[in-house]
Amino acid sequence: MSVDLSVNITGLTLKNPVMPASGCFGFGREYGEYYSLDRLGAVVVKATTLHPRLGNSTPRVTEVTGGMLNAIGLANPGLDQVLEEELPWLANQNVPVIVNVAGDTVEDYCIVVDQICQSGLAHAIELNVSCPNVERGGLAFGVDPQVLRRLVEAVRPYCTLPLIVKLSPNVSRIQDVAMAAAEGGADALSLINTLVGMQIDLRTRRPVLANRTGGLSGPAIKPVAVRMVYDVAKAVDLPLIGMGGIFTGKDALEFIMAGASAVAVGTANFTDPRACPRIIRELRELMAAEGIKNLEEIRGCAL
């Protein structure tokens, strides 16, 4: 049986629903040595900020049972280099490019979104709202519905491309922030970002990460992520990109049944550099075996 893996998210057609998650794939060059990037539904790049950032002190990654913690601290080469070097390279890879944007202030977000949209080198913007809001004492933009709505409203006029808002799971009711993002003008939502966690070294009796806390990702967070996609799918009528612990085609299908239109793969790239093409293949085989002709047939079927 031939299956159709293609999906459409706010006017953007992807040949399959699988994309790497931001921050787990750099700007694509390294994984491009393992397979051709045009096999992916899209490429989502590392968070891009107005100025270059070195990130936090090391250690800034560590493993926990079934997952990992990271406190990279948004290390990236900054907007200018992303526009001059990274995006032009990606533009030649024949794959839709989604640029993840982060900032300390609302103004930073607007400038970066504006310039990336004007460059013509991207296909969509993903707003990373898990970053600390410098103007609000470092509390993340994405945890207060009012603050989030105002950020999305402010960015919206500059964003001539589809605007995806990436939700933080570190909230008590994710439906509320999802609705705020929708009211602010988001075209789609992606979820989840990492959950704040900590690991302590028994020998030094101190947290392992220099930053003390870090974002938990990987298989350990999958049930939380599936539940959040499910809750948001019930609450808002926007396309969703689901992620959190996706390692196999089965995992991807679970998110789609919970209401996601597409999925992103983060930590799995580290375990297996060919994880994304493998997941695409597994998804196709699974659909054929289950007699599913296209993803629309099963999207949100669990709701």
Ligand X SMILES: Cc1cc2nc3c(=O)[nH]c(=O)nc-3n(C[C@H](O)[C@H](O)[C@H](O)COP(=O)(O)OP(=O)(O)OC[C@H]3O[C@@H](n4cnc5c(N)ncnc54)[C@H](O)[C@@H]3O)c2cc1C
Ligand Y SMILES: Cc1cc2nc3c(=O)[nH]c(=O)nc-3n(C[C@H](O)[C@H](O)[C@H](O)COP(=O)(O)O)c2cc1C
Catalytic residue ranges: 131
Which member of 55, 138, 157, 223 binds other proteins (CB under 8 A)?
Answer: 55
Which member of 30, 63, 84, 290 binds ligand X (CB under 6 A)?
Answer: 63
The two counts, helices (H) then strands (E), for the chain are 9, 16
Give the whole-angstrom CA distance, residue 171 versus residue 14: 30
- Per-residue binding string, other proteins, 243-282, x by CB under 8 A, is ----x-------------------xxxxxxx---------
CB count in 10 Å sphere of residue 223:
12
CB of residue 270 vs other proteins: minimum separation in angstroms?
A: 5
Contact between 285 and ligand X (CB under 6 A)? Answer: no
Which residues lie below 8 Å from residue 291, measured CB to CB, with a gap of 6+?
A: 1
Which member of 4, 10, 39, 59 binds other proteins (CB under 8 A)?
Answer: 59
Contact between 17 and ligand Y (CB under 6 A)? Answer: no
- The size of the interface with ligand X (CB under 6 A), counted in residues, is 2
DSSP state of 129: -
Interacting partner of 55 out of other proteins, ligand Y, ligand X, none (Cβ under 5 to 8 A depending on kind): other proteins
Which member of 53, 123, 149, 166 binds ligand Y (CB under 6 A)?
Answer: 166
CB of residue 197 vs ligand X: minimum separation in angstroms?
A: 15
Contact between 217 and ligand Y (CB under 6 A)? Answer: yes
Give the whole-angstrom CA distance, residue 131 versus residue 137: 12
Interacting partner of 25 out of ligand Y, ligand X, other proteins, none (Cβ under 5 to 8 A depending on kind): other proteins
- Looking at the chain, which runs of residues are DSSP E strands? 7-9, 12-14, 18-20, 43-44, 61-64, 67-70, 97-101, 124-128, 163-166, 188-191, 195-198, 200-201, 206-207, 213-217, 240-243, 262-265
Give the whole-angstrom CA distance, residue 113 versus residue 119: 10
User: Helices 106-119 and 145-155 sit at what angle, rounded to 10 degrees?
Assistant: 40
Contact between 56 and ligand Y (CB under 6 A)? Answer: no
Nearer to other proteins among residue 69 and residue 122 (C-beta): 69
Tokens describing residue 67: 């997952």
CB of residue 126 vs ligand Y: minimum separation in angstroms?
A: 7
Which residues lie below 8 Å from residue 126, measured CB to CB, with a gap of 6+?
A: 22, 44, 98, 99, 100, 101, 164, 165, 166, 190
Quick one: which segment of 7-15, 233-241, 259-267, 292-300 binds ligand Y (CB under 6 A)?
259-267
Contact between 107 and ligand X (CB under 6 A)? Answer: no
Going by their DSSP bridges, the two strands 12-14 and 61-64 should be labelled as unpaired
What does 54-70 look like in DSSP terms, one character per residue? Answer: --SPSP-EEEETTEEEE
- List contacts with ligand Y (CB under 6 A): 21-24, 46-47, 70, 72, 74, 100, 128, 166, 193-194, 217-218, 221, 243-246, 265-268
Positions touching other proteins (CB under 8 A) are 23-26, 29-31, 33, 46, 54-55, 58-63, 65-68, 70, 72, 75-76, 218-219, 247, 267-273
